[in-house]
Structure 1
Amino acid sequence: MDIPLGKNVGNSLEVIEAIDVLNNHGDPALTELCLQLSASLLNLAGKGNEDECYMLCRKSLESGSALKKLAEIVSSQGGNANYIYNPALFKKAEKSQDIFAAQSGYITKIDTEKVGNASVLSGAGRLKKEDGIDYSAGIIMHKQYGDSVQQNEPVATVYGDNEEKISSAALLINAAFTYSKAKPERKEVILDKISKETLSL
């Protein structure tokens, strides 16, 4: 993976982003990826052709049935489904630090390995198996590959409850961004598809 698929990195932050998609208010690119993946799975399960399955998935977002199904799954496992309908209930990180664009121009690369490691440093993951996890910690990317930016414009924010961890993560996030005066070529998130037809070849 050479570009982040969404804008949020971290436990609660990613759940909130997933809820936004299921609530039909998600990032357009991430929503489209989820629709395409879901449609392909339904197609492989024999629920119709690709177009029919895509429309089934689209309707489930628009009708609210996709979000309702997630709430049912959470409830069936003993969770509190109120969080699905009201993501503001998720614990908020106590501290945050913004990362600013080093120069004006375009974002030509976001090093996803650095982003992942920064998430761990923020407290969202473990360096050792005995380490605890801060479920509110993580990163929100305000800018993505190909976006134009002005110098000192916020490109990301690191969240957590430990200033030292946040500072370490922020340094790594800052190093993850590469800028150029020239606009980069568009990158497709979906390069190709595997379908029942291609599997039978």
Structure 2
Amino acid sequence: MSEFAAVDVIRAKRDGHVLSDAQIDWVLDAYTKGVVADEQMSALAMAILLRGMTPGEIARWTAAMIASGERLDLSAVPRPTVDKHSTGGVGDKITLPLTPLVAACGAAVPQLSGRGLGHTGGTLDKLESIPGWRAKLSNDEFVRQLSDVGAVICAAGEGLAPADRKLYALRDVTGTVEAIPLIASSIMSKKIAEGTGALILDVKVGTGAFMKDENDARELARTMVELGKAHGVKTVALLTDMNTPLGLAVGNAIEVAESLEVLAGGGPSDVVALTVALAREMLDAAGIDADPAKVLESGAAMDTWRAMIRAQGGDPDAPLPGARETEVLRATEDGVVGSLDALGIGLAAWRLGAGRARKEDPVSFGAGVLLKKRPGDAVRAGDVLLELRTDDESRIPAALADAQRAVTISQGVPTHGRLLIDRIA
């Protein structure tokens, strides 16, 4: 007979009490084993959303999720390990050029990534547009590639934080995704279990981000930084803007193509700036003295990219998928692009088939939105503002409506927010 009952733990949090270490350990272990039912964990998640958790509760909750599965041992990797996690946004392909860049500078980057849901894209979906590339690696393959190439981007194994996998799926359908203690512990349990020595967090804030409010984003960043430190992982967070999409490409294959432009020494200035800023943080955390901007110019990061793609079965020279149908949105008046709402552009890409509504939905690799103008650009009536791409022309009208709402033309010069908002360490 257990010393605990799920209903007592639910009532305790519902009434605003602090859960004990023993209660937290028990409820997560029992939920992972199926002893605590989904409806009971749903009630507890809602109580946590409404009542919050103390730093001590969040730290213990995270530790219990890590303890629910295995912890990777990266001690055999000869280089210092450092990872990066983004809370997700529109056009956020930064992981693609960043991982090989930091590896080319001498670090090992164990990047466990996910798939997209809704208007935010998933790194694995983008990479799967490369013919032959595979997301699933065994632990042995993961460690071997990290040692040989210095860079891995793959799906998290089934054994890492299984409590989080169950809870994540539940939060998605119970209106509890926004609970900061549950977001922080979900992200950090997987990253700590992955075994990295240091971690840089890119916490997005703005219309296209999960966190719309800067204060909420700051709280999430601080919570995750403290969790990392408590588990012996050097952790730093950057707060970055997500009111406007990153770069010009929003989709899967077209974001890979834009990442290749960056690795070749070109690409949009905001993507390059954020890639280099995050690389500097990662190298500093790993104790490596290198200039990522110079390494990017040298072509070494492109060489590492090609080795990384080949190591996972992909053909770095294969043509990327295209789309059968295209449509353009034109300016209806002269002026200046005032704003380009990230959420609206993300929704347009999703409607075109670049994203999914449910985890089991397929994505169209060639679908997406290609921006032709950015905020601050002068336009004349008739100029192309953006291009919609899809394999299904019936998707175009709804996507076009989202895109039209996302773009504003003004007569004055728009004010731009900073790409890098703050650093939290």
**TM exceeds 0.5?**
yes
Specify the TM-score bucket, using the shorter chain as the normaliser. Answer: 0.7 to 0.9
What is the one-letter code of the residue matched to 1:179? I
2:305 aligns to what SS in structure 1?
A: helix
CA distance in 2, matches of 1:102, 1:30: 29
Deviations 1:100-137 (A, max 9, x none): 11321112211111111111100111123443211000
Q: Which residue pairs with 1:138 in the alignment? A: 368
Q: Which residue pairs with 1:44 in the alignment? A: 285
Between 181-190 and 150-159, report the one with greater CA deviation: 181-190
CA distance in 2, matches of 1:128, 1:36: 33
Q: Which residue pairs with 2:405 in the alignment? A: 175
Between 1-10 and 129-138, report the one with greater CA deviation: 129-138
What is the one-letter code of the residue matched to 1:27? P
Q: CA deviation at 1:29?
A: 2.7
List alignment gaps of at least 5 residues for structure 2: 1-241
1:5 aligns to what SS in structure 2?
A: coil
What is the one-letter code of the residue matched to 2:315? N
**Are the equivalent residues in 2 in contact too, given 1:146–1:184 (CA < 8 A)?**
yes
Q: Which residue pairs with 1:150 in the alignment? A: 380
**Are the equivalent residues in 1 in contact too, given 2:322–2:365 (CA < 8 A)?**
no
Deviations 1:34-67 (A, max 9, x none): 111111111121113xxxx4xx212222211101
Q: Which residue pairs with 1:86 in the alignment? A: none
Q: Which residue pairs with 2:46 in the alignment? A: none
Q: CA deviation at 1:22?
A: 0.8
CA distance in 2, matches of 1:167, 1:178: 19
**Are the equivalent residues in 2 in contact too, given 1:100–1:153 (CA < 8 A)?**
yes
**Are the equivalent residues in 2 in contact too, given 1:7–1:141 (CA < 8 A)?**
yes
1:40 aligns to what SS in structure 2?
A: helix
* 1:11 equivalenced with 2:252 (yes/no): yes
Q: CA deviation at 1:72?
A: 0.9
List alignment gaps of at least 5 residues for structure 1: 84-88
**Are the equivalent residues in 2 in contact too, given 1:100–1:174 (CA < 8 A)?**
no
Identity fraction in percent: 30
What is the one-letter code of the residue matched to 1:37? L
* 1:31 equivalenced with 2:272 (yes/no): yes
Return the match for 1:64 from 299, 303, 312: 299
* 1:185 equivalenced with 2:388 (yes/no): no
Aligned-residue Cα RMSD (Å) equals 1.5
CA distance in 2, matches of 1:14, 1:64: 19
**Are the equivalent residues in 2 in contact too, given 1:107–1:144 (CA < 8 A)?**
yes
CA distance in 2, matches of 1:28, 1:176: 21
CA distance in 2, matches of 1:79, 1:189: 33
CA distance in 2, matches of 1:130, 1:76: 27
What is the one-letter code of the residue matched to 2:299? G
CA distance in 2, matches of 1:3, 1:133: 23
What is the one-letter code of the residue matched to 2:394? E
Deviations 1:164-199 (A, max 9, x none): 1123212211110112111112332122334xxxx3
2:256 aligns to what SS in structure 1?
A: helix
What is the one-letter code of the residue matched to 1:174? Q
CA distance in 2, matches of 1:35, 1:59: 10
> What TM-score, normalized by structure 2, do the two folds share?
0.42
> What TM-score, normalized by structure 1, do the two folds share?
0.86
How many correspondences in the alignment? Answer: 184
